[in-house]
Amino acid sequence: MKTIILSTQYKWVEKIHLGIKTDEVRKTSPGTPFKALIYDTKSSGGCGKVVSEFICDKVDEIRGDYDGYSIIGESTAYTNRVADGSCLDFSDMQKYLTKGKGKAIHISDLKIYSEPKELSEFKNLKGEPLKRPPESWQYVEEIK
């Protein structure tokens, strides 16, 4: 299974850990399934470490216009569930998804680490320890 690291603001890390945020909206994502490591960004008041991980077994395609956003091929009820699970309102989506399209990454099998891990404990695909977090996400060597 592929493994990625996601840079995530502290306010969203909290909501993920509490089970309130069940979908992470990004402009792009890898194909499923994949393991995602959550890096709690320092710039947002977080600890600057990898604090948890989850499995993503489903990624939904988001399309939007001036009237709203929808999940391609799904019902309005499903779209509303994903929107609620992302904890983003319409204006947040408009600001972030500037081209009107994105991905809703479903969060499942969340594991919160008892001790946060240093970024340098993980390696990029060249086998080099990570020195800085990605702007959004990047592949890392698979972890067992």
Whether residue 95 lies inside any domain: the answer is: no
Q: Is 79 helix (H, G, I), strand (E, B) or coil?
A: helix
Whether 16 maps to a domain, the answer reads: yes
CATH number at residue 49: 2.30.130.30
Grade residue 144 by pLDDT with cuts at 50, 70 and 90: low
Token reading at 114: 């008892």
Give, for 50, the enclosing helix (H) or strand (E).
strand 49-56
- Residue 94 belongs to some domain of the structure: no
Mean pLDDT of the chain, nearest integer? 94
Q: 114 in a domain, yes or no?
A: yes
Q: Tell me the residue range of the domain where 23 lies.
A: 2-61+102-140
pTM: 0.94
Q: What is the pLDDT of residue 82?
A: 93
Q: Is the pLDDT of residue 100 over 90?
A: no
Query: How many of the other CB atoms lie within 10 Å of CB of 39?
Result: 26
Percent of the chain with pLDDT over 90: 84
Domain count, the chain: 1
3-state secondary structure of 95: helix
- Quick check: is 79 in a domain? no
